[in-house]
Structure 1
Amino acid sequence: MTTLFISDLHLSPQLPKTTDCFVKFMREEAIHADALYVLGDLFEFWIGDDDPSPFAAQIKQEFLTLTQRGVDTYFIQGNRDFLLGKRFCKATGITLLDEHTVIDLYGKKAVILHGDTLCTDDVRYQKFRAKVHMPWLQWLFNRLPFFTRQRIANKIQGDIKEVKSSKSLDIMDVNQNEVEALLRETGTDLMIHGHTHRPGTHEFSVQGQPATRIVLGDWYQQAQY
């Protein structure tokens, strides 16, 4: 039995090699799995389930093919694709999960998430995140013409790159107290997330009990899963 986890692919029409890697992964690896969990930032920027582009259609078709073959597929929104919603899920057969979700991983409980909610030292980002997750603001944004949303998204992407270039790496990493608090809250000792682009396995203790945090890598350099 195999359960696969991926995160931070940042798929984009401008990165065809990454898309090719994703297609190969879906057809050669994911197709043989029991389940696939996508832990956010599948896309470089997703501005709506009504994206009419051939690129969006291609990605949707890969997921539809996978779910039709019987592979249970789950998605947690990231900070780049938090607008992915019910319409995408209906078109592909995937299941959208809460931002923090506890799963049964072959008899062991694990909490899975994108990971950006753990980066509480980055106060500026957390304020931005709270703002763009307001339901009324998303409702308004989704009703703008698609080309208008594209222009806004391009502006936001430029601003994000500029801000990130001036931040320290430590601020953009997880806060250990936040990690331990979520493990206590969910009653788990295993956490799997992405977002930080710092793949690794971290062993520590929570209230005297061993715990593990697994960080998934991004797909800028290699297709890690």
Structure 2
Amino acid sequence: MPDQADDRFAELRAPAHWQAVDFFSDLHLQASDLATFAGWRRYLLRPPETRASALFILGDLFEVWVGDDALLPHPDDDEHPERHFQRECMRLLQEHAHHTPTYFMAGNRDFLLGPAALKAAGMVGLPDPTVLVLHEQRWLLSHGDALCVDDLDYQTFRAEVRSPAWQQAFLHRPLADREALARELRARSEARKSEQGQDPTLWADVDAATARQWLQQADATTLIHGHTHRPATHVLGERQSALLQRVVLSDWDLAARPPRADLLRLSDQGLNRLDLATM
């Protein structure tokens, strides 16, 4: 269900001058994947005539985020190249946000990205889920992990790490300890994927009934989300003769063969999927 305690959806009404907006998620930016970073950087630095009116990042922009204090200088920075990498990402985001409003919704990898990092990047934080009102329609936005209700182990873990008590205790630990723990958790995650198989279709997917419930609650017909790494459009039935659907964002991996770097662009012509790997 929505993260808000009162069970209502946040709402963002687009300014009248917005013509098109872009959505992407699951870039999993990290210093060891410079190909994906380079593709993302090219997108941010595109010429004005190709830019959207706004950008929505729907989670997992970073492979891991252990606290906003990683953006501050530390005596051991030279031993941790990931910190320099994250600071460069924030610089690029801030430069982009100067001309294009940029919104960020936390994912399962970067849910600790907080107010200080948002300010450093010039981004506006969004709760999960959020309704975007644009072109006289309501579009429901989510990272998507809260909708994978059949993955009981993950939902238990998610509830734990999203609790204020857990986050306060975690962020109180030294930065280097948090980074080491994050590496350990990533190694466990990769081991679990190896056991299940690397094919995303073998992983838990969004629950259709829950997605329909969210759409009804939001008075929307289209849900846009990431997380599952299964880019597609899924029909969820009808409500009052209106087609219900969820549109899934791609993950990004420009080192893969073939490379992956899709985004969705929403304009008055509807949703279109753009393959940045070929542009």
Cα contact 1:119–1:173 (8 A) shared by 2: yes
1:148 alignment counterpart: 177
| 1:68 to partner: Cα distance | 1.4
**CA RMSD between the two structures:** 1.6
Cα contact 1:121–1:171 (8 A) shared by 2: no
2:150 alignment counterpart: 121
Task: Write the letter of the residue equivalent to 1:58.
Answer: E
Cα contact 2:55–2:102 (8 A) shared by 1: yes
Distance 1:134 1:164 in 2: 25
Q: Secondary structure at the match of 1:66?
A: helix
Identity %: 35
Distance 1:172 1:165 in 2: 14
Q: Does 1:166 align with 2:195?
A: yes
Q: Does 1:224 align with 2:257?
A: no
User: Which residues of structure 1 form unaligned runs of 5+?
Assistant: none
Q: Does 1:102 align with 2:102?
A: no
2:235 alignment counterpart: 203
1:43 alignment counterpart: 62
Aligned match for 1:7, one of 13, 25, 48: 25
| 1:170 to partner: Cα distance | 5.1
| 1:155 to partner: Cα distance | 0.9
Q: Cα 1:34–1:183, aligned 2, differ >3 Å: closer, same or farther?
A: same
Distance 2:213 2:101 in 1: 29
Cα contact 2:97–2:122 (8 A) shared by 1: yes
Distance 1:189 1:170 in 2: 27
* Greater radius of gyration (CA): 2
Aligned match for 1:175, one of 179, 189, 207: 207
Q: Secondary structure at the match of 2:62?
A: coil
2:219 alignment counterpart: 187
| 1:161 to partner: Cα distance | 1.6
C-alpha offsets along residues 10-61 of structure 1, whole Å, 9 cap, x if unaligned? Answer: 1000101111111001111787221000000001111111224220111101
Q: Secondary structure at the match of 1:109?
A: strand
2:95 alignment counterpart: 65
Cα contact 1:113–1:194 (8 A) shared by 2: yes
C-alpha offsets along residues 105-162 of structure 1, whole Å, 9 cap, x if unaligned? Answer: 2221011010001111111111111111111110111121110001110111111122
TM-score for the superposition, normalised by structure 1: 0.94
1:85 alignment counterpart: 114
Cα contact 2:27–2:252 (8 A) shared by 1: yes
2:247 alignment counterpart: 214
Task: Write the letter of the residue equivalent to 2:87.
Answer: A
Q: Secondary structure at the match of 1:28?
A: coil
Distance 1:132 1:79 in 2: 10
